[in-house]
Chains A and B, each alone.
Chain A
């Protein structure tokens, strides 16, 4: 099933594109708009966006693969991103990842069977003074311990 923007969404999209000097430079924000409307971006979405902006589908797909932060079809309802760069690494980020793998029964890069959680190791999220930490969707969680992780995940519906 091809996903398309509603009439209202297309209007909003026009407003976004008009901020930019040309259609191509609106691409990052158009992809974010698609991410919000559809929940995630996949190859088909790239084809659709390309048709709206008069770009090649391969070009848009190239962007999708370069920028890891866009939500993809293989991510979970809750995307758990654990920072593993040096400053968190030296405060035990590795143990946090191991605990999450054990607790969720998946490995980094995978998604739970029910599609609820996916797990990723990511680079510095700019909260090194509250390490180790993780971001789940659009929220940050700091000073992690195993108990805190239990508490956080239990609260997510």
Chain B
């Protein structure tokens, strides 16, 4: 039976304090094991566990660490992505607010594995409580000698620098995050070169999500076999799912990867609100295409199963839509978001999002034409794959998804207005 591990202390008083974390066995077993291995052994362990990034992309964590050049004389950096801004996602903030030391211990493990001496935590500006708690926790760890020049009395230096974001969703994109840390506007950069080879200040840099890193102390103490006993073969481990929308019991649910969506909706979420019928889910955050209820009957929430439905597990956000949700309204809101958050560098995204915004508004105000739907599709296809980052795809794919499953709703609106 699956036992939550990331959230196990969330409701306990003072769970954010170092004395609480020490009582739970923190900074002990995992650290002992850590210093008995050499850095590449730690990377191999994480690769063997099959841990995949929990920020949205689901890339193999150990594999990413392996891309850092072994014989570089440049400093290696770690950037912790605490910019949680994917609409529908609200999990990293609680890891930070409830168990900041879990994150710090995970950072120590990561920094050891990749030979990093300076880690940056980039936390979104709107997370005031999280920032204050992290500041305190970092000081507590410093005071105990767990951070600084010789951490745990070993020949290893590690400093954590806290940076606050200031309201830009795009700064959650890894290269934009690096731009922001470097003191720039949050402009994504072309890949290659990949950050693991040339990132912050042109030095090898690993970017990992908060939830990904929070898994590491458990993988070290409880072992690879324990981790792989949960979830599926391609998506091992537990996951924080963020349930929101037209549901009776919204909230964070820590469950095994591969849990059936209907289980999550009915048993944990307690069903669709107001006794309404279930229309669809938007998994993975606003960037993931919608999955209608017919496709949800056999859907399991792991990376490969959601991808097979033409969408993505992403951050683990799950938004439930009821039967009355107007898909034109959903489309407008999604495009408004991406238009607003576009960094503006690439013409297809900057202008394309603007045109989509205007066309959808026109349809909504009653001035739509039947050819507008084909026009929307054409614009979307001319954005996909033609930009520096995938924000354009994140906006275009959901719209294409809505047209695929709910074109009739938009057609009805247009027909209605032209009467």
Q: How far is the CA of A124 from the CA of B84 in the complex (A)?
A: 10
| B340 interfacial contact with A, CB 8 Å | yes
Q: Mark B329-340, 1 if CB is under 8 A from A, else 0.
A: 110011001001
Partner of B201, one of A21, A63, A126: A21
Q: Which of A66-74, A97-105, A106-114 contacts B (4 or more CB under 8 A)?
A: A66-74
Evaluate contact between B90 and A129: CB separation under 8 angstroms: yes
Evaluate contact between B161 and A20: CB separation under 8 angstroms: yes
**Contacts A28-B165, A66-B186 known; A128 to B244 CB distance under 8 Å?**
yes
Partner of B341, one of A22, A123, A139: A123
| A157 interfacial contact with B, CB 8 Å | no
Q: How far is the CA of A21 from the CA of B184 in the complex (A)?
A: 14
Evaluate contact between B163 and A28: CB separation under 8 angstroms: yes
| A115 interfacial contact with B, CB 8 Å | no
Q: How far is the CA of A84 from the CA of B340 in the complex (A)?
A: 12
The minimal Cβ–Cβ distance linking B173 to chain A, given in whole angstroms, is: 14
B contacts, CB < 8 Å to A:
84-90, 93, 118, 124-128, 159, 161, 163-169, 180-186, 201, 242-246, 250-252, 282, 286, 317, 319, 321, 325, 329-330, 333-334, 337, 340-341, 343
**Contacts A67-B166, A124-B87 known; A135 to B126 CB distance under 8 Å?**
yes
Residues on the A chain within 8 Å of B243, using CB: 129
Q: How far is the CA of A68 from the CA of B167 in the complex (A)?
A: 6
A residues 1-46 in Cβ contact with B at 8 Å: 19-22, 24-29, 31-32
Q: How far is the CA of A139 from the CA of B125 in the complex (A)?
A: 12
**Contacts A87-B87, A126-B127 known; A70 to B183 CB distance under 8 Å?**
no
Residues on the A chain within 8 Å of B286, using CB: 85-86, 124
Evaluate contact between B166 and A28: CB separation under 8 angstroms: yes
Partner of B181, one of A25, A31, A84: A25
Q: How far is the CA of A138 from the CA of B124 in the complex (A)?
A: 13
| A153 interfacial contact with B, CB 8 Å | no
Chain A's interface size range is 35 or more
Evaluate contact between B333 and A69: CB separation under 8 angstroms: no
- From A69, A91, A135, A139, name the one whose CB has the most chain B CB atoms within 10 angstroms: A69
Q: How far is the CA of A89 from the CA of B242 in the complex (A)?
A: 17
Q: How far is the CA of A90 from the CA of B85 in the complex (A)?
A: 18
Evaluate contact between A129 and B252: CB separation under 8 angstroms: yes
Q: How far is the CA of A129 from the CA of B245 in the complex (A)?
A: 7
Evaluate contact between B126 and A129: CB separation under 8 angstroms: no
Residues on the B chain within 8 Å of A20, using CB: 161
**Contacts A90-B325, A131-B244 known; A25 to B87 CB distance under 8 Å?**
no
Partner of A87, one of B126, B127, B161, B244: B244
Q: How far is the CA of A55 from the CA of B93 in the complex (A)?
A: 33
Evaluate contact between B183 and A86: CB separation under 8 angstroms: no
| A127 interfacial contact with B, CB 8 Å | yes
Residues on the A chain within 8 Å of B329, using CB: 89
| A144 interfacial contact with B, CB 8 Å | no
Q: How far is the CA of A125 from the CA of B128 in the complex (A)?
A: 11
Evaluate contact between B164 and A126: CB separation under 8 angstroms: no
The minimal Cβ–Cβ distance linking B235 to chain A, given in whole angstroms, is: 23
The minimal Cβ–Cβ distance linking B87 to chain A, given in whole angstroms, is: 4
Evaluate contact between B319 and A87: CB separation under 8 angstroms: yes
The minimal Cβ–Cβ distance linking A110 to chain B, given in whole angstroms, is: 19
Residues on the B chain within 8 Å of A127, using CB: 90
- From B164, B165, B166, B325, name the one whose CB has the most chain A CB atoms within 10 angstroms: B166
Partner of A126, one of B126, B245, B250: B126
Residues on the A chain within 8 Å of B185, using CB: 62-63, 66-67
**Contacts A21-B201, A67-B168 known; A124 to B321 CB distance under 8 Å?**
no
B83's nearest neighbour on chain A, judged by CB, is A126
B118's nearest neighbour on chain A, judged by CB, is A21
Q: How far is the CA of A84 from the CA of B330 in the complex (A)?
A: 12
- From A91, A123, A130, A138, name the one whose CB has the most chain B CB atoms within 10 angstroms: A123
- From B159, B167, B169, B321, name the one whose CB has the most chain A CB atoms within 10 angstroms: B167
Residues on the A chain within 8 Å of B201, using CB: 21-22, 25
**Contacts A25-B182, A135-B126 known; A87 to B165 CB distance under 8 Å?**
no
Evaluate contact between B337 and A85: CB separation under 8 angstroms: yes
Residues on the A chain within 8 Å of B88, using CB: 86-87, 124, 128
Residues on the A chain within 8 Å of B330, using CB: 86, 90
The minimal Cβ–Cβ distance linking A139 to chain B, given in whole angstroms, is: 8
26 contacting pairs across A/B (C-beta < 8 A): A24-B182, A25-B183, A28-B180, A29-B163, A31-B166, A66-B185, A66-B343, A67-B125, A67-B165, A84-B333, A86-B87, A86-B282, A86-B330, A87-B245, A90-B319, A91-B245, A123-B87, A123-B337, A123-B341, A124-B86, A124-B169, A126-B90, A126-B124, A126-B126, A129-B242, A129-B250
